[in-house]
């Protein structure tokens, strides 16, 4: 990101926080706490009350070390649980979809076998299978991971298949004339073309993946950000903490999105017409 763009993003976030603050002060209702309260709750929940206070009042490096040694908060554990679920799901979705997409692009027989069905199922919102998945796999990690991997799978399959299908026949012909065999064709054409497509697909499906994660974690789970937010909302009306959870899930989403955007730019440098 250029410096100018970073400045723009930061100032827009600050503006949003300011508007939030103004509305909260004006409304004076418990269900909309002021941003400063939310952020301090967020840090306390993330690092634990003692660590957060210790960090905020630290005057020396040893104070910081003492503060960090105190136990972390619940929110950190829940964020970590959610991050792991997302990571494992994206991994499996990619591992299954990308090779299949490339294989169908390269082989007419495989294409006829898989593509029509997969393209037909692509527009179906996979979240509707949540109850069915729970019937089979029960509540908990296997269901959540399966469902998110399924969503990612379809997204990756369609995008990678489309981009691999657009390789000009001349490119393949000239590669063959240079003496490339089947594996070399995969290595030099479909893999370099597939990697940016996979990253784009992950970026596109990230929003849905986190939404599904949130819903699935709310159902009978005992950790994760979805569970964190919902358990507080339903049982205790701890508004500050609910907002802290929302901040955490937003940060998780935008961090992953940022990493994927960076990878996308890096892997598609060749598509830019200026050096």
Partner 1 sequence: MVDVTLEPPHVLANTREIKTGVQLEQVTFGYQTPILKNFSWQLHLGETWAIVGASGIGKTTLLYLLAGLRKPQRGQVLYRGEVLEKTPAGVGLMLQDYGLLPWYRVEANVALGLRLRGVGKKERIERSRAWLGKLGIEHLAKRFPLQLSGGQRQRVALARLLVLEPDMMLLDEPLSALDELTRERLQRELFTLTRDTERTTVIVTHHIEEAALLASHVMVIPEKTPIADVTVLRSPFSDRTMPAREDPQFLAFTRQIRDLLGL
Give contact residues for partner 1 (rule: CB under 8 A): 168, 170-171, 173-180, 184, 188-189, 192-193, 269-275
Name the minimum Å distance from CB 156 to partner 1.
Answer: 19
CA distance 86 to 90: 6
CB 186, min distance to partner 1, A: 13
Closer residue to partner 1 (CB): 133 or 164: 164
Q: Least distance in Å: CB of 132 to partner 1?
A: 40
Q: Closer CB to partner 1, residue 38 or residue 198? A: 198
**200 versus 230: smaller Cβ distance to partner 1:** 200
Q: What residues contact 11, with CB distance under 8 A and at least 6 apart?
A: none
By beta-carbon proximity to partner 1, the closer residue of 123 and 169 is 169
What is the full DSSP assignment across the chain?
--HHHHHHHHHHHHHHHHHHHHHHHHH--TTS--HHHHHHHHHHHHH-HHHHHHHHT--SHHHHHHHHHSPP-HHHHHHHHHHHHHHHHHHHHHHHHHHHHHHHHH-HHHHHHHHHHHHHHTTS-GGGGHHHHHHHH-SSHHHHHHHHHHHHHHHHHHHHHHHHHTS-HHHHHHHHHTT--HHHHIIIIIHHHHHHHHHHHHHHHHHHHHHHHHHHHHTT-SSSHHHHHHHIIIII--HHHHHHHHHHHHHHHHHHHHHHHHHHHHHTGGG-S--
| Shortest Å, Cβ 194 to partner 1 | 10
Closest CB to partner 1 among 110 and 167? 167
Query: Of 11 and 184, which has the nearer Cβ to partner 1?
Result: 184
By C-beta, is 12 or 184 nearer to partner 1?
184
Q: Smallest distance from the beta carbon of 267 to partner 1, in angstroms?
A: 9
Q: Two tokens at 115?
A: 């593509």
Closest approach of Cβ 16 to partner 1, in Å? 38
We find the least distance from the C-beta atom of residue 179 to partner 1, in angstroms, to be 5
């Amino acid at each position: 990101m250029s410096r100018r763009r970073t400045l723009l993003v930061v100032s827009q976030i600050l503006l949003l926080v300011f508007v939030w603050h103004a509305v909260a002060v004006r409304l004076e209702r418990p269900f909309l706490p002021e941003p400063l309260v939310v952020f301090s709750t967020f840090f306390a929940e993330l690092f634990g009350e003692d660590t957060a206070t210790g960090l905020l009042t630290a005057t020396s490096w040893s104070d910081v070390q003492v503060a960090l040694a105190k136990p972390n908060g619940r929110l950190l554990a829940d964020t970590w649980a959610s991050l792991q679920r997302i990571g494992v799901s994206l991994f499996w979705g990619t591992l299954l979809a990308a090779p299949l997409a490339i294989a169908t692009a390269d082989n007419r027989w495989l294409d006829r076998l898989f593509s029509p069905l997969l393209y037909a199922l692509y527009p179906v919102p996979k979240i509707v299978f949540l109850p069915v998945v729970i019937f089979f796999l029960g509540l908990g990690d296997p269901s959540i991971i399966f469902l998110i991997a399924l969503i990612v799978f379809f997204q990756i399959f369609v995008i990678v298949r489309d981009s691999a299908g657009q390789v000009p026949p001349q490119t393949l012909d000239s590669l063959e004339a240079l003496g490339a065999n089947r594996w070399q064709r995969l290595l030099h054409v479909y893999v370099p073309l597939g990697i940016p497509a996979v990253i784009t697909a992950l970026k596109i499906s990230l929003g849905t993946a986190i939404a599904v994660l949130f819903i699935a974690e709310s159902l009978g789970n005992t950790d994760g950000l979805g569970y964190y937010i919902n358990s507080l909302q339903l049982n205790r009306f701890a508004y500050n903490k609910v907002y802290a959870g929302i901040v955490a899930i937003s940060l998780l989403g935008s961090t992953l999105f940022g990493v994927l955007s960076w990878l996308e730019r890096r892997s598609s440098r060749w598509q830019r017409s200026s050096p």
